[in-house]
Amino acid sequence: MTMGMHIIMELYGCPAELIAHVPSVKHIFDEIIRKANINRISEAYHQFKPYGVTGIVLLEESHISVHTWPEFGYVAMDIYTCGSEEKAIKAAKIAEKLFMPEKVLKKELIRGLEHETSLARRFL
């Protein structure tokens, strides 16, 4: 039995104008949520000056979060869905397309494994 899938993503080489301000990052999250068929409960975003965004969306399934550094073209993102591994994987694939990174590093964690600790971490 597992408690969900947690995908930790590092996106490098993202276009600065895409990740600098809340409206564009929020639009990307809206698309991820819609296309991955996950359910939003609430959300909060913070705009850093002069640029950079932190955002979190609470989901019925768990959460997605983002931190951006446009000056480096870098996005740190977490996707955690309880129950459905497929939704987390789909959301990650959509995020990869929409943030348009040059390079992606991901770590996939299966949460809540009781006895299968060797499967608790899989690297992509």
Average of pLDDT values for 4-16? 97
Q: CA nearest 33: which of 86, 96, 94, 112? A: 94
Residue of 42, 82, 84, 118 marked active site: 82
Active-site residue 65, yes or no? no
**3 vs 19, residue with greater confidence:** 19
Our answer to whether residue 14 is catalytic in this structure is no
- 82, 62 in Cβ contact below 8 A? yes
What's the pLDDT band for 115 if we cut at 50, 70, 90?
A: very low
49, pLDDT greater than 50: yes
Catalytic residue status for 118? no
Exactly one of 62, 65, 84, 115 is catalytic; which is it?
Answer: 62
| pLDDT-based confidence at residue 111 (cuts at 50, 70, 90) | confident
Residue 95 has pLDDT above 70, yes or no: yes
Query: What is the DSSP secondary structure assignment for residue 73, as one 8-state letter?
Result: T
The pLDDT of residue 113 is: 72
Rg (CA), the chain: 14
CB 65 within 8 A of CB 55: yes
Tell whether domain 4-123 is in CATH 3.60.90.10.
yes
Q: pLDDT at residue 107 above 60?
A: yes
pLDDT of residue 11: 99
Catalytic residue among 46, 67, 115, 118: 67
